[in-house]
């Protein structure tokens, strides 16, 4: 019995040593490199990404779908290799309330809910979030409820001036202005119709902190798996997002990638890339 503490101590040392290193992901593009880490909280996605990268299967795939202020998507290994659909493996969803779609997040693409009710992830395609910055009022408001109430409000004869203003902004395709206009009427709409226009699900503190500072795409939280984060090279992300696109949001000039992973010390990752492990 007197040797048990030493045994426990030795086990803790072994466990500690096994977690001193991590994988650094480098995504090489014509605009420069992005560096990322992968989360231990999503082990299946992490292992899958590392396996594909180490095998060189991401190399020469493209960022084939780019939507500015939203995300850049790529890594279609299965398409590059001309694999039949029955060989497109998926990964079970690994949702975590602490892992959200803030700017720079690596997330797994997937098929829609109608054919993928379990929200399983693609076995290769991923996207990197660019998104935008939100204010707290916008985050807490359900856009569908707000628009429905606003359109009913416009039908009142007493709101003819507001209706004309809306029509002009719509004709000018000033959609940001339209959103601001509707949000400015939120309290008035709630009082007039005696309704609550907030999101059904309460916005978490970490979402408010991230989306009102660095920005992101909050509507994707808890529905697509976030499994990593860009820790250096945000300027490269922004440059790729500026690419001119055509049909299907595909860039007119291909943005190819090379992806490699290197196992290095966590201390070095923190020192050279500024990422602080929890």
User: What are the extents of the domains in the chain?
Assistant: 20-135+203-273, 142-193
Q: Using pLDDT thresholds of 50, 70 and 90, give the confidence band for residue 278.
A: confident
pTM for the whole structure: 0.88
Please give the average per-residue pLDDT across 41-64, as a whole number: 98
Radius of gyration of the chain (CA): 23
| pLDDT score of 9 | 44
Tens-digit pLDDT profile for residues 123-175: 999 999 999 999 999 999 999 999 999 999 999 999 999 999 999 999 999 99
Give the whole-number percent of the chain exceeding pLDDT 90. 91
Residue 12 scores a pLDDT above 60: no
pLDDT at 51 over 70: yes
Q: Which of 9-13, 82-86, 221-225, 258-262 has the lowest mean pLDDT?
A: 9-13
CATH 3.40.50.300 fits 20-135+203-273, yes or no: no
Specify whether the CB–CB gap between 251 and 66 falls below 8 A.
yes
* pLDDT tops 90 at residue 13: no
Q: Is 151 helix (H, G, I), strand (E, B) or coil?
A: helix
Buried b / exposed e across 51-73, counting CB within 10 Å, b at 16+? Answer: ebbeeebbbebbbbbbeeebbbb
User: Quick one: what percent of the chain has pLDDT higher than 70?
Assistant: 93
DSSP assignment of the chain: -TTHHHHHHHHHHHHHHHTSEEEEEEEEETTEEEEEEE-TTSHHHHHHHHHHHHTT-STTEEEEEEETTTEEEE--HHHHTT--GGG--EE-----TT---BTTEEEE----TTT-TT-PEESS-EEEE--B---HHHHHB-HHHHHHHHHHHHTSGGGHHHHHHHHHHHHTT-HHHHHHHHHHTHHHHHHHHT---B-SSPPPHHHHHHHTTT-B-GGGTTTS-EEEEEEE-HHHHHHHHTS-B-GGG-BSS--EEEEEEEEEEHHHHHHHH-PPP-
Q: Which residues contact 267 (CB under 8 A, 6 or more apart)?
A: 20
Q: Average the pLDDT over each of 5-19, 56-70, 87-101 and give the range with the smallest value.
A: 5-19
Q: Tell me what pLDDT residue 19 has.
A: 61
**What mean pLDDT do residues 255-264 have?**
97
pLDDT tens digits for range 166-206 = 999 999 999 989 999 999 999 999 999 999 999 998 999 99
Tens digits of per-residue pLDDT, 226-256?
A: 999 999 999 999 999 999 999 999 999 999 9
b/e map 240-253, b = 16+ CB within 10 Å: bbebebeeebebee
Q: How far apart are CA 201 and CA 205, in angstroms?
A: 13
């Amino acid at each position: 019995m007197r040797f048990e503490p030493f045994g426990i101590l030795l086990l803790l040392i072994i466990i500690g040593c096994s977690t001193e290193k991590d994988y650094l992901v480098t995504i090489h593009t014509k605009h420069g490199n992005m560096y990322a880490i992968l989360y231990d909280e999503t082990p299946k996605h992490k292992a899958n990404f590392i396996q594909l990268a180490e095998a060189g299967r991401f190399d020469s795939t493209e960022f084939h779908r780019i939507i500015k202020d939203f995300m850049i998507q790529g890594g279609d290994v299965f398409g590059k290799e001309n694999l039949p659909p029955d060989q497109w493996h998926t990964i079970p969803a690994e949702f975590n309330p602490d892992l959200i779609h803030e700017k720079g997040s690596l997330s797994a693409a997937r098929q829609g809910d109608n054919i993928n009710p379990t929200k399983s992830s693609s076995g290769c395609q991923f996207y990197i979030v660019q998104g935008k910055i939100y204010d707290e009022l916008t985050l807490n408001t359900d856009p569908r409820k707000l628009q429905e109430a606003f359109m009913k409000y416009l039908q009142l004869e007493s709101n003819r001036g507001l209706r004309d203003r809306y029509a002009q902004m719509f004709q000018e395709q000033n959609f940001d202005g339209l959103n601001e206009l509707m949000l400015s009427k939120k309290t008035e709409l709630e009082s007039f119709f005696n309704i609550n226009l907030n999101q059904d699900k309460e916005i978490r503190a970490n979402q408010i902190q991230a989306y009102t500072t660095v920005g992101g795409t909050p509507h994707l939280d808890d529905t697509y798996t976030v499994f990593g984060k860009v820790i250096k090279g945000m300027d490269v992300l922004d440059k790729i997002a500026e690419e001119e696109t055509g049909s299907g949001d595909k860039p007119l000039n291909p943005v190819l990638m090379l992806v490699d992973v290197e196992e290095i010390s966590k201390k070095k990752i923190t020192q050279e890339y500024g990422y602080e492990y929890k």
